[in-house]
């Protein structure tokens, strides 16, 4: 799958239908492409930058990045890595996870990570990514995205794109933690 977008007579797409979808955003030629093996060095660098800028308290390792990439390559119905390009340069990425919501009655697209390099921020790149994901997954009944409370820029971006702070509290349990 070369590039990422949507196009058919109903304006809907399955996860398997893609075509080249270019958009000029403030004199940039922004293209979303599925991750390819030759993207690894850029992806790894950007993931480390994201976790340095917005630490979650959980360390990121190259081993985890490799596991994530492998999972996305083997199970695109579960996770997809989307590279954001300006021409031939990778300037960001997003990770999408897919699930079902009983309470909302349909498919959920979780934008697990969204990163845009510093020199390209405040140019509608993140907003364009979100818009295009929403245009692509028209069958989704819910889109989720998360950020740390201290990341005011990301929170503003997401809220400006229609996201709301959920009434639910997000809890995690680390399956590999030792019980006493």
The structural domains of the chain, with segments of one domain joined by +, span: 22-160
- Choose among 141, 33, 36, 149: nearest CA to 94: 33
pLDDT band for position 6 (cuts 50, 70, 90): very low
pLDDT band, very low/low/confident/very high, at 127 (cuts 50, 70, 90): very high
Average pLDDT over residues 77-96: 96
Q: How far apart are CA 137 and CA 107, in angstroms?
A: 9
Q: How far is CA 66 from the centre of its chain?
A: 17
Determine which helix (DSSP H) or strand (DSSP E) holds 95, and give its type and residue range. Answer: strand 89-101
Query: What pLDDT, on the 0 to 100 scale, is given for residue 21?
Result: 45
The rounded percent of the chain whose pLDDT value lies above 70 is 83
Question: What is the predicted pLDDT for the residue at 170?
Answer: 83
C-alpha 139/C-alpha 82 separation (Å) is 19
Architecture category of domain 22-160 in CATH: 3-Layer(aba) Sandwich (3.40)
Res. 180: pLDDT tops 70: no
Mean pLDDT of the residues in the chain? 85
């Amino acid at each position: 799958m070369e590039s990422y977008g949507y196009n058919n007579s109903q304006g809907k797409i399955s996860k398997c239908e893609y075509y080249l979808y270019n958009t000029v955003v403030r004199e940039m030629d922004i293209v979303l492409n599925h991750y390819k093996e030759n993207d690894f060095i850029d992806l790894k660098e950007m993931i480390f930058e994201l976790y340095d800028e917005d630490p979650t308290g959980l360390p990121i390792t190259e081993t985890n990045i490799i596991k994530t990439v492998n999972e996305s390559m083997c199970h695109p119905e579960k996770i997809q890595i989307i590279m954001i390009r300006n021409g031939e340069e990778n300037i960001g990425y997003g990770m999408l996870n897919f699930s079902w919501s009983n309470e909302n009655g349909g498919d959920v697209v979780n934008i697990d990570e969204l990163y845009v390099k510093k020199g390209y921020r405040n140019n509608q790149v993140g907003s364009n990514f979100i818009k295009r994901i929403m245009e692509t997954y028209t069958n989704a009944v819910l889109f989720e995205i998360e950020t740390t409370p201290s990341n005011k820029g990301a929170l503003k971006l997401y809220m400006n794109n229609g996201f709301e702070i959920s009434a639910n509290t997000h809890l995690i349990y680390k399956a590999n933690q030792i019980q006493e």
